[in-house]
Amino acid sequence: MRKSFDLFFVSSNNHKYQEAKSILDSFGIDLGFLKSNLEEIQSDSLRDIAVVKAQDAFSKFKRPIVIEDGGLFINSLDGFPGPYSSYVFKTIGNKGILNLLKKSRGAKFVSVITFCDDATLQSFEGKSSGKISEIQKGKGWGYDPIFIPDNVTKTFAELNNKNKLSHRYKALKEFSKWYLHK
Ligand code: IMP
């Protein structure tokens, strides 16, 4: 029998869903998955991009949904690739990012989670600061092999507790506090 969920994560990215599911499980929220490519506007604001994605997801599925828009912001590159992280990963990838960097390697990951149902549209933000590694380490998805969060020596790809430190964890924790008291 198919299980029915109260809340769905809409994304084309299965990795993001797996992480979001495991994080929300730890807060007692059961998260379903609807795989879909959502409308992505061009903007410097992750929140503006996330709101349009969430509205698109809700208009497609007519169920309570959450979506995420996120990115990697590199200090010495004035926040590049930021909102363009997905495109930059597909084009120059981790190797290209490593080639762009010299000494200064500070960076942060940012996640915006937006919830939408027929009455509410609400966004939550989480950040994880750290630095870009000298070489790729570990077998993670996206920029995980080149991002070392603060206070540890391993990349996200090498850590087994990424879901306790990540930008996604922090945004979903804020979301959970709100959702469970809604
Ligand atoms: P978007 O949120 O779908 O626009 O994609 C943001 C892009 O940033 C992803 O496609 C990944 O390349 C990258 N990204 C965001 N969060 C993570 C993460 O936790 N690990 C690795 N890469 C990430």
Taking the centre of ligand 1 as the mean of its atom positions, its distance from the CA of residue 1, in whole angstroms, is 33
pLDDT (0 to 100) of residue 2: 56
Q: Which residue segment(s) compose the domain that 40 sits in?
A: 7-180
Q: Which tokens go with 104?
A: 């200064």
Give the model's pLDDT for residue 182: 84
Instruction: Count how many domains the chain has.
Output: 1
Any domain includes 35: yes
Q: Is residue 64 part of a domain?
A: yes
The encoded tokens of residue 12 equal 């084309």
Q: Is 2 within the bounds of a domain?
A: no
Helix pair 14-26, 167-179: axis angle to 10 deg: 50
The answer to whether residue 85 sits within a structural domain is: yes
Pocket probe mutation, ligand 1, options 37, 109, 133, max atoms within 8 Å of Cβ: 109
164: helix, coil or strand? helix
Decide if 1 is inside a domain.
no
Query: Residue 33's CB: how many other CB atoms inside 10 A?
Result: 16
Q: What is the pLDDT of residue 5?
A: 79
Average pLDDT, the chain: 96
- Compare 93 and 1 and report the one with higher pLDDT: 93
**CATH number of the domain enclosing 101:** 3.90.950.10
Contacting residues for 164 by C-beta, under 8 A, at least 6 apart: none
The residue type found at 9 is: F
What is the mean pLDDT of the segment spanning 76-96? 97
State residue 60's pLDDT score: 98
20 within some domain: yes
Residue 1 pLDDT class (50, 70, 90 cuts) = low
Catalytic residue among 25, 44, 48, 69: 69
C-alpha R_g of the chain? 16
Give the span between the Cα atoms of 71 and 79, in whole angstroms.
10
